[in-house]
Structure formats: structure tokens, C-alpha cells
Amino acid sequence: MKHKLGIPIILFLLFGQAAAQQELIPDTRRSYLSTGFGYQMYRLGGYTNTISQASFPISLLLPLGQRFNLTVIHTPASSRWEEGQDIDGLSDTWIVGTYIFWQEKAMVNVGVGVPTGKTKLDNDQFQLSMFLSRNALQFQLPIYGQGFCVKSGFAVVYPAAEYVVVGAGAHYLHRRPYNPVLYEKGEVGTTSLIEYKPGDEVIGQVGVEFQALDNMKFMLDGIYTYYGRDLWGDTEVYRSGQKVSMNFGFLYRLDKNYLWSQITYRHKGKIEEYRGLDLEKEAQNSNGFQVDIDIVCKVMDLDGSGILLLGDGRFYGENEKDTRGKAAIWGLGFGVDARLSDRIRLDFHFKYLAGNYTFTEERSVEGMDTYLGFTFRL
């Protein structure tokens, strides 16, 4: 879900959730409760069992006054793969407060990630979580629990010309230590509970929105993410490569129908790993480029409801070391955005996906992504 505030794409990311099927973002002056059921499944070449996840996302938007909104987000899920590899439970719960000012051209937000999600995974669950978190598979809940987190951000936009709006923003995420895994050692099954602290993140973003015609607009933004060093106990053990992202969006209206598309490009620099005495940067970059393409076309309007055609492309390049992480996955599907009453909307989508993904070796990928949700205006 995306929350629309009448300002460009730069604020969409800072405000959080999004459902690509929804062209218009709910009016933030009203209260909304969104919930539903999602099911994602992939069959990987060479494996007997499918890897699947059933999720139950819940989000609540509460306007507290004319300028302040409170958002609560939670996604329980049940994930399965090989025998004994399953994770059931809650996700972390995000509570975010957003203050809008300067004639709705600026905002600040502060949020906390409450550690309600499942952590202390056993060895089998940890192996499953590594597949759930792969970007190319785009699971609804890639990570169950990350410990206590605090984030804050701001964004501002400015009309530079009659048809051009520019914006800039920044975002900071602070993570606290937690126990992601129960490490079992020896025949008696002793465990290690040394806490792991992921590095903090700082994100800077600039964007521009150009209204080319009355029924056509283009959006472009650039994002730079700086990652701090991860700690295992008191030892610095890892540092992610810094990330550059570019988003290009396009919206075209034809009467009550529309075509919306977005292309996202991401690339990370070289990682640093602990090697004896200190962190050392890898000689060859283990991260390849990533390109995601999303297309939503509303082809039929039925008195406020709509029939949608969906397209999806995920193209990931090989890294400098080997071909691991390389992917080419296509997705096609359809959706329904229906107004059931003045207060209830239904959102449904189904996509079939196929292609290939290189883990330790290239494997075929075939799967489905489906979701049925409801949004209630309170």
C-alpha cells in the first residue's frame, strides 16, 4: 500500500507501505484498516517440495488531528519448504507517527519496530530464512524478526515550475542487538546466545515529478543507502556494501483507466568481512545489479471498481565472483480493485511467475503470487 499526500514519489518510500494495484492512495484525513490473506509459492528445479508462504498483513492508519497520522503495520506468516524447515509466527510490529506541515509539502516521521517477530531460529529455520530474504523472490515477509528498531525521517517538496515538482529527504534507522539464531554445538546441543547487532542505516533521497500532459506524468528519484558495521557481541564482523537505487515511474490516464509502471535499479558496493583481526573489503564484488519492473494497467472501469492487468520482471546480474544471484523471472497476472460499499474496498491479484535463478547453480523457477485483501474506512 502507498499513502498518497499529493506530493511525489520521494514521499511514497518514506511513508512506507504500498500496494501496486491501488492507483490512488487513501485520504490521510480518514481512518483505514487494511487486512487480507496472501499466498506465494515457488517450485525450484531439482527440489521436490515447493517453498511457500501464507501471510496475513494488517495495517491501520489513524489521523490524529489535521496534521498527524499514526500507522501500525504487522504481518504474521507461515512459511514452508523441505521437511522440518518451517517458520510460523508473528512479524515485528511497526508503529510510525507522521507530522505533515507547510501546506502538505513537508513531513517528519518517527517510528519504532517493536520486536514481536520470531527470532532465535534453529538451523533448519535459518536456512529457510535465507531463501525467504532473497530479493528476486519478493516474499511478503522476508524477515520475521530484527529486534528493536527506531527510525526517523523527513522530506520536503517544492514546485520548481508549473509542471515540475522536486523533493529531497533523509531517513535514519537504528537497530538494537538481538538473537537471530540459536547456534547448536556438539552432541549435547549446547547453544550460543551471543547477541547480533545489525549496522545502522542512513538513507538520502532526491526526486522529481514532471507533468508532461494533463493525463501523463513521469517520476524519477535517486536513493543512496549507507550501512554501518554489524557487531557479533563486541566484534565487528560484517559491513554491507553501500547501495545506490534509482526509481523511474510513469503514469498515463485514459478516461477512467490508466497505465502505471515503475522500473527500479539497485546496486551495492563491496562488502567487508571479519578476517582475523579486522574487517577487510572483498577483492571482487559479490553483489550484482538488480532491476525490477512493475506494470499495472486498469483496462475496465465498473462504477468505481476496476479490472487490472499485471506485469512483473526481475532481472539480476551476476557478480564479479561467480553467477550466484543471477536471475531472470517474468510474471503475468490480473487483479480486481472493487468498491463493495462506501466504506469497504476489495483488492485481489493473481500472478504466475517463471524463469531461472542461480543459487549455487542455475535452477528453473516457477511460482504464483496471490492476494485477497479488504480496506475498511473507519
The more confidently predicted of residues 22 and 333 is 333
pLDDT at 184: 61
The more confidently predicted of residues 331 and 66 is 331
Measured from the Cβ of residue 317, the count of other Cβ atoms closer than 10 Å reads 15
Determine the residue type at 193: L
The yes-or-no verdict on residue 24 having pLDDT over 60 is no
**What average pLDDT score do residues 260-271 get?**
96
Q: Among 57-66, 145-154, 199-208, 277-286, which stretch is predicted with the lowest mean pLDDT?
A: 277-286
pLDDT at 203: 95
pLDDT at 23: 45
**What average pLDDT score do residues 328-341 get?**
97
> 9-288: which CATH number, 2.20.25, 3.30.1360, 3.40.1420, 2.40.128?
2.40.128
User: Residue 16 phi/psi, 5° resolution?
Assistant: 105, -120
pLDDT at 276: 73
Average pLDDT, the chain: 89
**pLDDT tens digits along 128-184:** 999 999 999 999 999 999 999 999 999 998 889 989 989 999 999 999 999 998 866
The yes-or-no verdict on residue 368 having pLDDT over 60 is yes
Rounded CA-CA distance 181/175 in Å is 17
Residues 6+ apart with CB under 8 A from 144: 77, 87, 89, 90, 91, 92, 117, 118, 119, 129
pLDDT > 90: percent of the chain: 76
pLDDT at 177: 96
pLDDT at 27: 59
The yes-or-no verdict on residue 10 having pLDDT over 50 is no
Rounded CA-CA distance 68/40 in Å is 35
pLDDT at 6: 33
The separation between CA 90 and the C-alpha centre of its own chain, rounded to angstroms, equals 17
pLDDT at 372: 98
The yes-or-no verdict on residue 188 having pLDDT over 70 is no
Residue 9, SS3 per DSSP: helix
**What average pLDDT score do residues 219-234 get?**
94
**pLDDT tens digits along 38-85:** 999 999 998 889 999 999 999 999 999 889 999 999 999 999 998 889
The more confidently predicted of residues 193 and 363 is 363
The CA radius of gyration of the chain, in Å to the nearest whole number, is: 21
The yes-or-no verdict on residue 259 having pLDDT over 90 is yes
pLDDT at 93: 98
